[in-house]
Structure 1
Amino acid sequence: MTDSIINRIVGTPPAPGHHLRIAGLGGGPTVELTEVYAAAGRVAARLRRLGLKPGDRIGILAANCLEWVLLDLAALRCGVVTAGFEPGKFAPDPALLDRYGLALLFTDRPEAGGADPRLRPIGEVNTLAADTGAVPPEPVGHPPDAITTIKFTSGSTGEPKGLGASVGSIDSSLRAVQQMFTHGPGDDIFVFLPLSLLQQRYWIYSALAYGHDVTLSSYEAAFATMRRVRPTVVMGVPGFFEAAKRHIESEAERGGLDPAEAGRRLFGDRIRYLWTGSAPASAAMLRFFDANELPIYEGYGLNETCIVTKNHPGASREGSVGRVLPGKRVLIGPDGVVSIAADHPVNVRYEYAAPGESERVFGPGGLVRTGDLGYLDEDGYLFILGRADDVIVLDNGKKVIVRPIEERLRASPEIEQCVVFCPTQTHLVAVVSPARQPADAEAIAAHLAEANEVLAPDERIHRVVVAGTPFSIGNGLLTSQYKPRRKEIFNMYQSEITSIGEGVHVR
């Protein structure tokens, strides 16, 4: 346990001189990491005083904030398991506590502070942290197979599945990322996706372990704050960088700027690199940033595996999601489906899932069947072709992988998202989310014609349905990591998908 990064950050104060900045639309505090560590120790003492003991669970259902960080670190310190719930997807009520065996639930939702004493306003954490008389407990030592948090899938279908994450899997991911990117003094990593997603908390742990700054923001505040805070690294899903690309292109055209200069105006002038993953990234978007002095590196991983592969400086190949990380093994089945083995699996089964789900995904020893189609090239770079479930078999027996077709349509600046369906097994229909309102149907039709010219006959798009309202998390058509929800999109646009006709149809 002596080489555990998690044990190090809960048992050893961080080096002075590095900070956690909270950067919302209305600003926020900047706190030295040494004080974050001390305050988390005081919160841990008060959690113990509230009767919590190692193995007990607390839930956190709140937007990104300092209190979220303090609770998470305090729980690590005293061996309490956290469950991070995404706002908007879960309701803070007694049923939630009962379902997941929570002793307490801290939330920023107004429902807190009611009749159930287990529901606590997250602002109460400030009171716990301010108790200067609290004596922090001795840090709990976490063995590699210890579970420190319950994370939930993004929920593209059905109820989110709950998965306990092991210390060994977190440690190995942190160590591999540090070997590739060498974060340290002078770095400021910009984090804006919800802390309920465990991988976002990695960058807080990295700051404590390796001595760099970290800025915590929100998706809504990201564009407004990046130039002001001047990060060196920005972590984001492909949808975020697609939006950034459009912003830069528009700013460059409007102001007569070089796109590289417009990029610096958006991201600040200290960017070392951009990190993306969690969903497929388009080749056009990746090339745009690389060409404009904003190197971007795509990776691959699942909730069930942590990070598996990553492009990085000195080892990056266009079209791939990078080389396999130490401690991970990629296995390609005879059907082309990717499975992942790890020295330290995240887990060997779901803790909360429908019957049969664990057996469908997890094999012996924690082997994870990803459901993705892919291959490894001669140099060990992994290429992902799409989802096995999204391979369409036409009535003539031809198999069509839809992801490359979707990416070709998404190359249009008028299209933000694209999902391809095959309602009759004879022809393909795309539902697209427009990049602007009102949608430019003429430009989309021209791009469709260009795409169909280079696609094979069985891959050509017969009809494009332009969504009347862009896909979003709010309307249930995107996951929290901005992946399209295929089933929900099909249900919403079923009549247009299955209707007769060709060309572009705007709802």
Structure 2
Amino acid sequence: MRFLSIDGSQISKTFSEVHADVLQLMSELRDCGVEAGDLVGLMGPNSYEWVVADLALLGLECVSVALPAERRTQPGTVRELAEKYSLSAVLVTKALPVGSSLPEATGLLEERPLKFEKRAVPDDARPAISADVFSIAFSSGTSGTKKGLLMSKAGVENTMRVSAGAWEVTEDDNVLIVMPFSNFQQRYLMYTAVRYGLDATVVAPERMFQKLREFNPTIILGPPSFFEIAYNRVTAGSVREKLPYYVATALHTLPLGRFGRAVRARLGRRWMSMYGSRVRLMLTGSAPVPPRTVRLFQRLGAPLFEVYGSTESGWICFNLPRRHRVGSAGRPVDGVDVTLAEDGEVLVGTAYPQTLGYIFEGEETQQSVYLGPDKLATGDIGEFDRSGFLRLVGRKKNVIITRSGVKINPEELEEAVEKGCRITKAIVVSPGQDGLLSCVVWLDDPESAERRTEVESCVQELNRKRQSSHRMVDVLFRPAGELSVENGLLTRNLKVDRGAVMRKIFTEDIRGAR
């Protein structure tokens, strides 16, 4: 395992070394009074210490509570979270501000051995949790609250088996982990590496593209933004610079098999080498994926495929090298029954759901998601093609209903705008009570008259082809740089938070302009 932090420091560990460190931390936690069944918080940026602590809590049969990474490690915050979630202790990976002292029942993982006295939690304050639950994770919060998710041992073990089988993993593989461990997908990737003996490389996002060539991962999972960087570099080049891409595109239409892929990969090396030279599988899907990005990668012989899953259910559909369709989420994975409700919502049937329900926040929505012991509602709207590939067309909660009762799926309009012109992102919303649609567009240079004209012409052409209820009446231009987790417009999974967009652009900014 390798860990590269934002400051450039690097740690490499063998599995035997990890095992010894986990046993040592388990011993220290026992000495502090931590025992099976305790809820213990984990807080701070990704680090080797984070992984060791997570595995140690798993070994002690505690319930780890992965506190969102954007929480600031302040004494008051730590105390507040310990009280809020009935935590017996909190383990932090980052030192508190200079001059601050650690709150009670708090261990700083950089200072060993740990020495604290665990917090006494009254029995009536302890939440009732099934023995199958080993951790509590939190959602990305696109609905405004971060739901607590009860992670199932059996469900996560099944997710690991499904991944290892479908991806045909071997001990020669090296999986890349970039997003925060508080995002459960990253932890499950680490568990998979430990379980199946793969190498794992954990890199701070800010250092990712500086070190990929050196670390040479073979499996990369990431949001579309990881791969749109290469797409933008290709499309921004001159005609001369893009000549290898044009040749690869022509070869892509010919049935040349492995030889053709090898030639196209060689032609695309100037762009794809940024991901390393050993990548055999690139998977994306935590946010809507522009089909143009997937097509560009595949034309250049790069193995980028869409996948679909949720923290609640685990993996739902895969596109894989021998069975894929651009623009789809793939076919259902083995052991998962995917059906569509009358309104098009994707329903998942599985004997091993990854979670057993919500806790702390989100419990009021539990019945609308957990429809039975083996069935979950995803909140996504989809449709199947004749070959059994699932295509996602939007989120049920994002459907806009006009005053006349017309239902509008904004994601379909957004996809058309993003496909028709050169932009970073588009969001279609209805900010008023009149049901009229506005399109918010993020550009690298929102003041460029040429780029604005291009977008406005695209929107006009799309409007001409649609009925009046589906037409976008105005376009708002925004700088691409404001799309970040730090200012709240992106979630931890790098999805656009529509609620935050409405609050910032149609409330704060408009009010401030008056």
Provide TM-score, normalisation by structure 1. 0.84
Instruction: Give 1:51's match in structure 2, choosing from 33, 49, 73.
Output: 33
- Partner of 1:363, secondary structure, is strand
Distance 1:319 1:274 in 2: 15
What's the counterpart of residue 489 of structure 1?
501
Relative distance call for 1:497 and 1:464 in structure 2 (3 A) is: farther
Change (3 A) 1:484 1:323: same
Please give the alpha-carbon distance, in whole angstroms, between the structure 2 residues aligned to 1:379 and 1:256: 34
Contact persistence 1:64–1:194 (CA under 8 A): yes
- 1:272 equivalent in structure 2: 280
Deviation at 1:352, TM superposition (A): 1.4
2:438 to 423, 429, 436: 429
Alignment pair present for 1:85 and 2:97:
no
Q: Secondary structure at the match of 2:359?
A: coil
Match of 1:352 among 360, 381, 386: 360
Shift of 1:184: 1.4
Deviation string 1:318-345 (CA, Å, 9 cap, x unpaired) is 2211111223222211111112222112
Aligned to 2:183: 197
Which AA in structure 2 matches 1:151?
A: A
Once residues 425 and 390 of structure 1 are traced to their aligned partners in structure 2, the CA distance between those partners, rounded to angstroms, is 17
Query: Post-superposition shift, 1:149?
Result: 0.9
Q: Which residue of 2 aligns with 1:134?
A: none
Cα distance, 1:498 vs structure 2: 9.2
Post-superposition shift, 1:272? Answer: 0.8
CA distance in 2, matches of 1:416, 1:90: 29
Q: 2:423 aligns with which of 415, 422, 430?
A: 415
1:317 Cα deviation from its structure 2 partner: 1.6
Report whether the alignment pairs 1:393 with 2:401. yes
C-alpha distance in structure 2 between counterparts of 1:309 and 1:451, whole Å: 32
Match for 1:429: what amino acid? S
Residues 457-502 of structure 1: CA distance to partner in whole angstroms, max 9, x if unpaired? 4333221101255221111111111111112211222269999xxx
Structure 2 residues without counterparts, runs of 5 or longer: 115-129, 246-267
Preserved contact between residue 151 and residue 356 of structure 2 (Cα < 8 Å): no
CA contact (8 A) 2:36 2:62 kept: yes
Candidates 228, 248, 259, aligned match of 1:242: 228
Deviation at 1:54, TM superposition (A): 1.0
The correspondence of residues 247-326 of structure 1 with structure 2, limited to 5 A, is 247-250=233-236, 258=244, 260-326=268-334
Counterpart Cα distance in 1 of 2:105 and 2:240: 53
| Structure 1 residue corresponding to 2:174, chosen from 188, 201, 224 | 188
**In the alignment, which residue of structure 2 is the partner of 1:340?**
348
SS of match in other structure, 1:46: helix
Query: Aligned pair in 2 of structure 1 residues 109, 409: CA closer, same or farther (>3 Å)?
Result: farther
Q: Which residue of structure 2 aligns with residue 476 of structure 1? A: 488
Q: Quote the residue 1:461 is aligned against.
A: 472
Instruction: State the one-letter code of the partner of 2:438.
Output: V
- Counterpart of 2:441, as a letter, is V
The answer to whether structure 1 residue 225 and structure 2 residue 211 are counterparts is yes
- Cα distance change on mapping 1:247 and 1:81 into 2, 3 Å: farther
Query: Cα distance, 1:263 vs. partner?
Result: 2.4
How far apart are 1:190 and its partner, in Å?
Answer: 1.1
Cα distance, 1:393 vs structure 2: 3.1
Q: What do residues 2-57 of structure 1 show as CA deviations (whole Å, max 9, x unaligned)?
A: xxxxxxxxxxxxxxxxx444364514011112211221122112212221111112
Q: Given that residues 446 and 452 in structure 2 are in contact (C-alpha distance below 8 angstroms), is that contact kept between their aligned partners in structure 1?
A: no
- Alpha-carbon deviation of 1:412? 6.0
* Cα RMSD, aligned residues only: 2.9
Partner of 1:70: 52
Partners of 2:457 and 2:86 lie apart in 1 by 55
Question: Contact conserved, 1:414 with 1:444, CA < 8 A, in 2?
Answer: no
* Structure 1 contact 393–425 (Cα < 8 Å) conserved: no
Does the aligned pair in 2 maintain the 1:263–1:292 contact within 8 Å? Answer: no
In structure 2, what is the Cα distance between the partners aligned to 1:104 and 1:244?
43
The change in CA–CA distance for 1:109 and 1:244 in structure 2 (over 3 A counts) is farther
| 1:366 Cα deviation from its structure 2 partner | 5.3
**CA offset at residue 191 of structure 1?**
0.8
Which of 55, 79, 87 lines up with 1:102 in the alignment? 87
Q: 1:254 to 1:306 in 2, by over 3 A?
A: farther
Percent of pairs identical after alignment? Answer: 27
1:352-409: CA deviation from partner (whole Å, max 9, x where unpaired): 1255222232222153222211123343322111012222234455432111211222
| Equivalent pair of 1:490/1:497 in contact (CA under 8 Å) | no
Give the corresponding residue for 2:105. Answer: 118
Which residue of the partner structure matches residue 256 of structure 2? none
Higher mean displacement: 273-282 or 410-419? 410-419
**Change over 3 Å in CA distance of 1:425–1:467 after alignment to 2:** same
Q: How far 1:429 moved relative to its partner?
A: 0.9
2:486 partner letter: G
* CA separation of 1:354 and 1:264: change in aligned 2, threshold 3 A: closer
Rounded Cα–Cα distance in structure 1 between residues aligned with 2:474 and 2:509: 8
Q: Could you say what secondary structure the match of 2:392 adopts?
A: strand
- The amino acid that maps onto 1:200 is Q
Cα deviation, 1:92-133, whole Å, max 9, x if unaligned, reads 421101111212212215159625221222313x546xxxxx
1:371–1:387 CA contact under 8 A, matched in 2: yes
SS of structure 1 residue aligned to 2:211: helix
Deviation, 1:252, is 8.0
SS at structure 2 position matched to 1:194: coil
Q: Give 3-state SS (helix, strand or coil) of 1:484's partner.
A: coil
Q: Is this contact kept in 2: 1:349–1:366, CA < 8 A? A: no
List gaps (5 residues or longer) in structure 1: 1-18, 129-143, 500-505
Give 1:87 shift.
2.3
Moved more, 391-400 or 289-298: 391-400
**Which has the higher mean CA deviation after the structures are superposed, 376-385 or 199-208?**
376-385
Aligned 8 A contact 2:4 2:204 in 1: no
Inter-partner Cα distance in structure 1 for 2:325 and 2:109 = 44
Aligned to 2:119: none
Does 2:10 match 1:28? yes
How many residues align? The count is 467
Q: How big is the shift at 1:255?
A: 6.9
1:39–1:498: structure 2 CA closer, same or farther, 3 Å change rule? Answer: closer
Work out the CA distance in 1 between the residues paired with 2:203 and 2:421: 27
1:214 match: 200
- 1:431-462 Cα offsets, whole Å, 9 max, x none, are 1222x245534224313423542442433322
Whether contact under 8 Å (1:414, 1:440) holds in the other structure is no
Are 2:152 and 1:158 equivalent residues in the alignment? no
**TM-score after normalising by structure 2:** 0.83
Q: Is the deviation greater in 417-426 or in 475-484?
A: 417-426
Equivalents in 2 of 1:370, 1:446: separation in Å? 36
